[in-house]
Amino acid sequence: MSKHIFWISSYPKSGNTLVRAIISALFFSKDGKFQLNQLKHTSQFEKRDRLNLIKKINNEDFLNLDQLKILSKYWLILQEKENMKIDKGFGFIKSHSNYVSIINNWFTNSKNTAGYIYVVRDPRDVVISWSKHANLNYDESINFLLNFNSCIEWAQTKSELPDNIKPKTFLSSWDEHVLSWTNNDLEVPKLILKYEDLVYKKEKTIKIIIKFFEESYNVNFSISTEIINNIIESTSFEKLKLQENNYGFAEAMSGAFFREGKKNQWKKELSNQQIIRLENKFRDFMNKFGYD
């Protein structure tokens, strides 16, 4: 059993990048001071350059990778250790994909997966953040979260794939996405985190992450109070925004990637009708995670 991928997963705009920053500071810095370029250690699965190997396997499929039923045939092949270029242990890999089966092709499995962290965020705030990120109005953003068939495109990296072919990451609706990662049969260590705790209870959450890796993978951290304080400070939204302003951030789509990071923005931004639409659809999962 290889188990070489550790997923950092979430619905878009739910705290994935913040977890990656904390993981990067924990594992890939000596002093806990995070820099944006350290995100290379937690790379994205859905990058177009990964798809080049499919051309060698089946050129006809390669030219039809904009169809999920075709792309899904290769999910597990793309995740094989040699194709992920993970030499030893496990690598941290970001994804927004639903943990889904399409025509009996599962997104991942327990052979490839060493474990994962999944981040959940109040969907009412996701609507706000996604609208800014994707340049949508709030109703369009709500429709996206409600849509069972919602997808996003794979990241634009240099690839042999023609530009007109747009491979998709299958998200589904917000509740289906949360369900897929929080209630499944993957027999691996998993840690479910709330975005709000990452921001407002960061020290406690960092210690939970440390304990998770110590107990699940026998990782021996030498973490001082100073290092934890450095992680807290260097992954604050103020510091992340400053780094983005100074150096740019490739994952930004429309405007700044690091915008507000606050909870309960929806209370001032969404209309009663918009709030009711979200709460009527997502009430069970919102109750489960304490989003009253």
C-beta separation of 89 from 59 below 8 A: no
pLDDT bin (cut points 50, 70, 90) of residue 254 is very low
Listed in sequence order, the residues at least 6 apart from 274 whose beta carbon sits closer than 8 Å to its beta carbon are 127, 138, 139, 142
pLDDT at position 237, please? 76
Counting residues of the chain whose pLDDT is more than 90, the rounded percentage is 77
SS (H, E, C) 201-263: CHHHHHHHHHHHHHHHHCCCCCCCHHHHHHHHHHCCHHHHHHHHHHHCCCCCCCCCCCCCCCC
**Contact predicate 65/51, CB 8 Å:** yes
pTM (predicted TM-score): 0.92
Mean pLDDT to the nearest integer, 143-164: 94
Name the average pLDDT for the chain. 91
Would you list the DSSP string of 73-127? GGHHHHTSHHHHT--SS-EEEEE-----EETTEES--TTTEEEEEEEE--HHHHH
pLDDT per residue as tens digits for the range 107-126 = 999 999 999 999 999 999 99
Tell me what pLDDT residue 111 has. 93
Per-residue pLDDT band at 46 (split at 50, 70, 90)? very high
Domains of the chain, earliest start first: 5-288 (3.40.50.300)
Confidence bin at 249 (pLDDT 50/70/90): low
- Containing H/E element for 284? helix 272-288
Rounded CA-CA distance 260/241 in Å is: 9
Residue pair 127/270 in contact by the 8 Å Cβ criterion: yes
Angle at 279 between CA 276 and CA 282, to 5 degrees: 150
For 51-58, what is the mean pLDDT?
A: 94
User: Region 4-31: what's the mean pLDDT?
Assistant: 94
Distance separating alpha carbons of residues 167 and 164, to the nearest angstrom: 10
* Gyration radius of the chain over CA positions: 19
**How many Cα atoms are found within 13 Å in the side-chain-facing hemisphere of 28?**
16
Helix or strand (DSSP H, E) at 7: strand 5-10
Distance, CA of 34 to CA of 14 (rounded, Å): 19
